[in-house]
Structure 1
Amino acid sequence: MSRFTRSAAIITFSASAIASLPAMAADALNYNQISLRAEVSQEVARDKMIVTLYTESQNSDPAKLAAEITTTMNQALGQAREVKGVTLRQGSRNSYPIYDSKNQKITGWRERAELRLESADFPALSKLTGELLNTLKMDNMDFAIADATRKASEDALLKDAVAAFKARAQLATDALGGKGYKIVNLNFNTNGYPMPYARGGMMMKAAMADSAPAPAPEVEAGTSQVNMSADGVIEVLQ
């Protein structure tokens, strides 16, 4: 009985020692590892102009109302298609009932349809917008960063972020008296690319209201500061 107990104790100790090996290996892998972060930024021009126009009307006959809205939108689409470099997108179109004062009986219908125009040619789109405001109304004017511009800025920022991270890694290595370093992992995060930036549509409509023909408004899209961070871990070599 005593021999069995003694053997079991030896086996238990051996298993415990083996189980501790992965933990010891993990500790060794994490030796001299440091977390670092580097950030770079860039001013990027909002080079895409987005204008949302709409028509809205009401009628007691929903069929006549739909025909009126369709005719107005088709005329606007035909006029907009003649301008090169302008992308057309039909937005939402909604119809809803109008009730009497007691909110019990439908007395008519109201319908609204939107037209969205996008272009990198600000003067051309501004001129077209002024002309379309003779029959449509403006919801808003927005500015955004075009996809091609965004990709180019991301590529440039990525190179800058890598260079900044390497510089910081070398600085940390020198401070610790290391002979060199190796990158364990590295992650990039980008922020600052704006959603379309709305400008005052009401101000633009007011400026054009008394003009015939409507003048092309002066627009200034501005820029956005885009940031990219490089977060990673290095291992300092001794």
Structure 2
Amino acid sequence: MQPLSRLTSALIFSAVGLLSLAAQADEARYNQIALRAEVSQEISHDLMHVTLYSEAQHSDPAKLAAEITRTLNSAVNQARAVKEVKVALGSRHSYPIYSENKGDDKGQDISAWRERAELRLESADFAALSKLTGEMLKQLKMGGMDFSIATATRKNHEDALLKEAVAAFQARAKLATEALGGSGYKLVSLSLNSNGFQPPMPMRMARGKGMAMMEAAVAPEIEAGTSQVTVNADGIIEVQMP
């Protein structure tokens, strides 16, 4: 029976150990408070984006594609000549134009094809991109214009806001500790999160308005606007009572 007694003792010891760990876990959560601190800043946009497009219609889809390709190649070469501007091809798609065939029960016939292709320009030099856009509107159409934050700019501002968020969390933790009559606190956990920059509202312009603005003799003043970035510090503190 001795081996059975040893096994019983071992089981009792294990149970006591588990109860002790559970008690420690409960004790670790004692006087714990969840807090949040939030800091935000308005950041000026420093990148300008312009979308231009070529659109045409032809009865022969092969000739239509060739025409669009020639126009795009010419525009790309023109944009590449301006070193301050980055150029990239955007979406390109074609679709049939139907005409009703009254003498055929099958319904409609394809009378022509229409194709549209985009060219996207980006630059931190607003004046250079505005001037180039005005020149390119002689062969392309304005699709839209919007602004954003450069990656390096975003990182620099987020790094600064992270420090501010930690300082704000520490101030709130101290305030909460004093309100509870504590003598101090221990930091249990802390997470820092950024919601990123709110996407700017794009400017959509009709061809007439876009050309009038961009083809002016003097490059127009561009108001790029701002976006807000917010950094949250979420954490748990354990208040030490006297």
Give matches, 1:1-238, under 5 Å: 18-102=17-101, 104-191=108-195, 193-202=197-206, 205-206=208-209, 208-209=211-212, 216-238=219-241
Q: Distance in 2 between matches of 1:67 and 1:148?
A: 39
Q: Distance in 2 between matches of 1:184 and 1:205?
A: 61
Aligned residue for 2:104?
A: none
Q: Report the alpha carbon displacement of residue 97 of structure 1 after superposing the two structures with TM.
A: 1.4
Instruction: Give the Cα separation in 2 of the matches to 1:105 and 1:182.
Output: 76
Unaligned runs of 5+ in 1: 1-8
Give the Cα separation in 1 of the matches to 2:83 and 2:230: 34
Quick one: structure 1 residues 96 and 182, their matched pair in 2 at CA, closer, same or farther if it must change by over 3 Å?
same
Gap change, CA 1:214 and 1:101, over 3 Å in 2:
farther
Counterpart secondary structure, 1:134: coil
Q: How many residues align?
A: 231
Amino acid at match of 1:227: T
TM-score by length of 2: 0.86
Q: Is the 8 A contact 1:56 1:113 kept in 2?
A: yes
State TM-score, norm by structure 1.
0.87
Q: What RMSD in Å do the two structures reach over aligned CA positions?
A: 2.6
Q: Distance in 2 between the 1:181 and 1:45 partners?
A: 38
On the 8 A contact 1:131/1:213 being kept in 2, the answer is no
Of the structure 1 ranges 47-56 and 103-112, higher mean CA displacement relative to structure 2 is found in: 103-112
| Structure 2 gap ranges (5+) | 1-7, 102-106
Structure 2 CA distance for aligned equivalents of residues 89 and 133 of structure 1: 17
In structure 2, relative to structure 1, the CA distance for the partners of 1:31 and 1:213 (3 Å cut) is closer
SS of residue in 1 equivalent to 2:186? strand
Contact 1:38 1:229 in 2 (8 A): yes
Q: Which moved more, 1:148-157 or 1:182-191?
A: 182-191
Structure 1 range deviating more: 143-152 or 170-179: 170-179
| Identity fraction in percent | 60
Secondary structure of the residue aligned to 1:158 is helix
1:100 counterpart SS class: strand
For each residue in 1:80-115, what CA deviation from the matched residue of structure 2 results, as whole angstroms up to 9, or x when unmatched? 111122111100111111111245211111111100
